[in-house]
Amino acid sequence: MTGKSKLMPIGAAAKKAGISRQSLQYYIMVGLLEPTEVTLSGRRLFDKKSIERIKLIKKLNDSGYPLRAIRELFLEGRPV
């Protein structure tokens, strides 16, 4: 199995992480997450590590952290 076969498109990544596709698109837009890879045709692909990060963002947000604060934590490199 190659590394590329482990990558999944945005819809599948959102479903696996337990959020909507629109939420994942918003996370990308506000700088909380970047796709693992973007194909020549513009498809955004995500790996297992990205899925775990999405789950962490959701968990922090559900527990009361605003997305802006989560982004700042990630930018500061603090372990969350």
pLDDT attached to residue 76:
82
Contact in structure between 66 and 75 (CB atoms under 8 Å): no
> 68 or 5: whose pLDDT is higher?
68
Domain count across the chain: 1
Assign 39 to helix, strand or coil.
Answer: coil
CATH number at residue 21: 1.10.1660.10
Q: How far apart are CA 13 and CA 46, in angstroms?
A: 6
User: Is there a domain that residue 67 lies in?
Assistant: yes
User: Is there a domain that residue 32 lies in?
Assistant: yes
Mean pLDDT of 3-21: 90
Question: pLDDT tens across 22-68, in order?
Answer: 999 999 999 999 999 999 999 999 999 999 999 999 999 999 999 99
User: Is there a domain that residue 48 lies in?
Assistant: yes
pLDDT attached to residue 1:
41
Structural domain for 23, as ranges: 7-76
